[in-house]
Amino acid sequence: MRTPTDVQFVLGRRAERLDAEARTVDLDDGRTLSYDVLVVATGLTPRRLSFQRDMAGVHTLRTLDEAGDLRRGLRSARRVAVIGAGVLGCEIAATARGMGLPVTLIDPAPVVMAGRLGDELGARVAALHRRRGVRVRTGVGVASLIGTAGRVSAVERADGERVPADLVVLAIGSTPATGWLDGSGLSLSDGVECDSRCRAAPGIYAVGDVARWHHQALGRSIRLESRTNATQQAIAVAADITGTGSPYTPLPYFWSDQYDVKIQIHGTIAPGSRIRPIEGRPGAMRFAAVAELDGTPVAAIGWNHPRAVMAARRQVMDALRSGTASVGT
Ligand SMILES: Cc1cc2nc3c(=O)[nH]c(=O)nc-3n(C[C@H](O)[C@H](O)[C@H](O)COP(=O)(O)OP(=O)(O)OC[C@H]3O[C@@H](n4cnc5c(N)ncnc54)[C@H](O)[C@@H]3O)c2cc1C
């Protein structure tokens, strides 16, 4: 039986090339590692703006070092602009506002977090931020970052409006970190493409944010960006490697903490979904609801209601099991 001492850590090095036929991975220090089974878990790379220049005061947030830089920057910042009103951007805006800083949240989409929450709940999140004093500037994108003496001083929107800021956070999404797999023969299309057991090729798996796999219950390929998925998928892959696996069919889940609100979503709020409250009413500080598409529950929604969201989740699971759900990506 293998023991934990069989684990060899190679930290501080990048994988640079995969040779799937020879079953080897080249590292950036010139070494080549061989494997019987490879698990690709390289996560995401934050997107950059095409016109982005390196300027002091401009941050992205993915790694621990970046988190430390951002925390130090926020302590001395006078005005903050967050570009990108997705989950990460909204959470950063809430944190900066909680530190008492003036914050502007900018996104070309008309509604914040619309991709994850849909228009109705996204509008509630925008209202939450506005109540807390965040300037929410949606519907117009960013044209440039303005700098003075190598430090950012403002964000210019496409309509010419200048948003003064000495700290800017770019939270405009991320792309799967698959560059090192180019030319490996793996199918790469918004992630490493896998079958229902997260197998990308013989002896190769992918897990976590980088993995796009065929979700058998939903009948299509999906990729999830959440910590719980990374953990569950890793367990599913480990089971498959050791011969006890089965198709990986989780109900997508994510949560977001902003100010004193915990939002929990089990499933996917597909475009065009109708929100049906099951406890409390949307707009209250605490409610739970089900998002329905053509009458079929596709997502459970909890707004400061971790107990009732589980009842909503059961409705979604029942629909999924009965095979009538058409959960969106
Ligand atoms: C600021 C922030 C807040 C978040 N908050 C939440 C939350 O509240 N809830 C939630 O569910 N999820 C949250 N997430 C998402 C969650 O962190 C990710 O879904 C999760 O970390 C994915 O795990 P992973 O192992 O797939 O990728 P990662 O955790 O990104 O790990 C990938 C690793 O691969 C390494 N790597 C990349 N390329 C190479 C290479 N070529 N060679 C070797 N190593 C490489 C990277 O350095 C990294 O260590 C958050 C993410 C961020 C950035």
DSSP codes of every residue in 10-37:
-TT--EEEEETTTTEEEETTS-EEE-SS
Task: Give residue 6's pLDDT band: very low, low, confident or very high (50, 70, 90).
Answer: confident
Instruction: Assess whether pLDDT exceeds 60 at residue 324.
Output: no
Per-residue model confidence (pLDDT) at position 252 = 94
**Range 173-188 average pLDDT:** 96
199, β-bridge pairs:
205
Closest ligand 1 atom to residue 67 Cα is 1
Q: What is the pLDDT of residue 5?
A: 63
> What is the pLDDT averaged over residues 161-190?
96
* More confidently predicted of 106 and 51: 106
Report for 48-52, 274-278, 322-326: range of highest mean pLDDT: 274-278
Q: What is the mean pLDDT of residues 245-264?
A: 95
pLDDT for 253 beyond 50: yes
58-59 and 162-164 beta bridge pairing: unpaired
Kindly tell me if the per-residue pLDDT of 178 is higher than 80.
Answer: yes
Q: How far is the CA of 194 from the centre of ligand 1 (A)?
A: 19
Q: How far apart are CA 143 and CA 34, in angstroms?
A: 46
Q: Would you say 299 and 290 are in contact if contact means Cβ atoms under 8 Å apart?
A: yes
User: How large is the average pLDDT for residues 85-92?
Assistant: 97
- Given a contact cutoff of 8 angstroms between Cβ atoms, the answer to whether 268 and 289 are in contact is no
Q: Quick check: 1 pLDDT over 70?
A: no
Asked if pLDDT for residue 182 goes beyond 90, the answer is yes
CA distances from 287 to 203, 280, 311, 318 (A): 46, 4, 12, 21
281: pLDDT strictly greater than 80 = yes
Give me the sign of the Cα torsion angle 183, 189, 190, 196.
Answer: negative
Query: Which atom belonging to ligand 1 lies closest to the Cα atom of 15?
Result: 42
pLDDT of residue 201: 97
Query: Which ligand 1 atom lies nearest to the CA of residue 225?
Result: 19
Identify which of 293, 294, 297, 296 has the alpha carbon closest to the alpha carbon of residue 270. Answer: 293
Mean pLDDT of 191-208: 98
Q: DSSP state, 215?
A: E
d(CA 158, CA 141): 6
pLDDT of residue 271: 87
Helices marked H in the chain — which ranges? 64-76, 87-98, 114-131, 227-241, 306-321
Looking at the chain, the whole-number percentage of residues with pLDDT higher than 70 is 96
pLDDT (average), residues 313-320: 92
Residue 111 has pLDDT above 70, yes or no: yes
Q: What is the pLDDT of residue 296?
A: 92
Measure 327 CA to ligand 1 centroid, in angstroms: 25
Residue 32, beta-bridge partner list = 26
Name the residue with tokens 């965040």.
134
DSSP annotation of 252: P
The amino acid occupying position 250 is: P
> CA geometry: angle at 174 spanning 171 and 176, to 5°?
170
Which residues, judged by CB distance below 6 Å to any ligand atom, belong to the binding site of ligand 1? 14-15, 41-44, 61-62, 88, 177, 180, 208-210, 225-228, 230, 254-255
Give 266 Cα–ligand 1 centroid separation in angstroms. 20
Q: What is the mean pLDDT of the chain?
A: 93
Q: Give residue 328's pLDDT.
A: 42
Cα gap 33→24, rounded to integer Å: 5
On the question of pLDDT at 289 being above 60, the answer is yes
Q: Do residues 222 and 252 make contact, with C-beta atoms less than 8 angstroms apart?
A: yes
d(CA 55, CA 230): 33
Q: pLDDT tens digits, residue range 15-67?
A: 999 999 999 999 999 999 999 999 999 999 999 888 777 899 999 999 999 99
Residue-range domains of the chain with CATH: 4-36+178-241 (3.50.50.60), 46-174 (3.50.50.60), 260-321 (3.30.390.30)
